[in-house]
Amino acid sequence: MLRLQSGDADFGEAFARLVQDRRESGDDVTDDVSRILADVRSRGDVALAELTGRFDGHTPACEADWRIGPDECREAFEALKPELRAALELAAQRIGAFHEAQLPEDRDYTDEAGVRLGAKWRAIDAAGLYVPGGRAAYPSSLLMNAIPARVAGVERLVVVTPTPGGKVSPLVLAAAHLAGIDEIWRVGGAQAIGALAYGTANIRPVDVITGPGNAWVAEAKRQLYGVVGIDMVAGPSEILVIADGNNNPEWIAADLLSQAEHDPQSQAILITDDPVLADSVADRVGVELAMLQTAKVASESWQNNGIIIEVGSLDEAPALANALAAEHVEIATDDPETLFAQIRHAGSVFLGRHTPEAVGDYVAGPNHVLPTGRRARFASGLSVLDFMKRTSFIEMGEDALKAIGPAAIALAEAEGLPAHARSIEARLGI
């Protein structure tokens, strides 16, 4: 775990290295994914079955090996303990309510030149949702991806999920039932992304692919962008906690480890103006690790990527946070709004001492699929808009064309495109 102090002479250089650090896939992953995608594109289900057998120890043969039916999902939902079923239902309700408020409005108006202008929003036809099933299975991610798609009006929702040894998480199936998933396929990895993009005899192609995955899944999405739309290229999880000295070290340590336990490449960073809190949190992390079933992963993440930054004043924190552009930012201070107003780049921000990032992963409402790897500088979390597209329209009568057409003719001629100019001139009788 790295300790930095903003007052040190070499802090600027050390912090620049931190900002530039890439904890994502290398050339070997890129090459592997290229070969897998080419194989799936050329051999379809045959390649998909072979790759699933190689990576998941499960080779699909009959239809039941390929696909999970709605009855199995319904049975999994009905078999849940009442408190767990209620928790999933609460999460689904809150996620749905938040995303319904994101639905965009169509525009239709006539301007002063008499030109009718506007735009109509329409949902895509089919969305592919990747749900991890290797290191961990996340029913919450299924809800976070499927519900915005349903709210947008997507007609066909297709889930792909790896089933190591042929086993699938009942919680994932229960969430699929709650979200009204149309198809669930027992395939994962880069090969599943290829199947969704190109289509096979079994799996019809989709228009957009969303959902988290490992480095191979993220790289497959990157390579296939343009064949299909994607939500984002997601890397390892990140959390940045900005905390003053009035915090409970136990809470802050738990918050940092909530992301460290995802993956050895995850990153947890604390910025504080209190050296005592910095020391206390560093000590408490060791205590918390001893209590975690995920201690092996979380410890590796904290030891290799964890950072505590001591600053002279928390007034320095927003500039550091904007440079890091982290996936998750917690502001645990007496007045979080003051710092929040200065933070321009973050996937999602959690305000106050009683708003742990973990609540946002499940039941708060906003989406937990967020930009990582400093992509919050230019990208946003998953939303209804990722499953929709906008079509603009224009309608003009003769008078409107006379009003603005000559300017278009002049611009077309200046660009050396006489046919463009002629299509307007013909209507104006020029």
Q: For residue range 180-190, list pLDDT tens digits in order.
A: 999 999 999 99
Q: Is the pLDDT of residue 138 over 70?
A: yes
CATH of domain 27-230: 3.40.50.1980
Instruction: Name the CATH superfamily, with its identifier, for domain 235-378.
Output: Nitrogenase molybdenum iron protein domain (3.40.50.1980)
The residues with which 160 forms a beta bridge, in sequence order, are: 130, 185
Average pLDDT over residues 414-426: 98
Q: Which two tokens stand for residue 120?
A: 């109509």
Length of the chain measured in residues: 430
pTM (2 d.p.) = 0.93
How far is the C-alpha of 260 from the C-alpha of 376, rounded, in Å? 19
Name residue, tokens 């013909």: 426
Equal CATH topology for 27-230 and 235-378: yes
Any idea which residue has 């973990």 for tokens? 358
User: Could you state, in order of their start, the residue ranges of all structural domains in the chain?
Assistant: 27-230, 235-378, 396-428
For residues 263-269, average pLDDT: 94
Largest CA distance in the chain: 83
Strands 328-332 and 238-243: parallel
* Residue 134 predicted with pLDDT over 70: no
Contact criterion met (CB below 8 Å) for 73 and 177:
yes
Confidence of residue 257 (pLDDT cuts 50, 70, 90): very high
Q: Which long-range contacts link 18-26 to residues 24+ away (Cβ below 8 Å)?
A: 18/307, 18/324, 19/323, 19/324, 19/374, 22/373, 23/235, 23/236, 23/265, 23/267, 23/305, 23/373, 24/215, 24/218, 24/235, 24/236, 24/265, 24/373, 25/215, 25/216, 25/218, 25/219
What is the structure's pLDDT at 135? 60
pLDDT for 28 equals 87
Among 32-36, 55-59, 125-129, 399-403, which stretch is predicted with the lowest mean pLDDT? 55-59
Query: 356 phi and psi, to 5 degrees?
Result: -70, 145
Q: Which residues are catalytic?
A: 327-328
pLDDT digits (tens, 9 = 90+) for 145-173: 999 999 999 999 999 999 998 888 999 99
Confidence of residue 234 (pLDDT cuts 50, 70, 90): confident
What per-residue string of b and e applies to 265-299 under the rule 16 or more CB within 10 Å gives b? bbbbbbbbbbeebbebbbebbeebbeeeeebebbb
Instruction: State residue 151's pLDDT score.
Output: 98
More confident residue, 215 or 37: 37
* 25 has a pLDDT exceeding 80: no
- With 0-12 / 13-18 / 19 or more C-beta atoms within 10 angstroms meaning exposed / middle / buried, residue 78 is exposed
Residue 348 has a pLDDT of 98
So what's the pLDDT on residue 63?
A: 81
Share the mean pLDDT of the chain.
Answer: 95
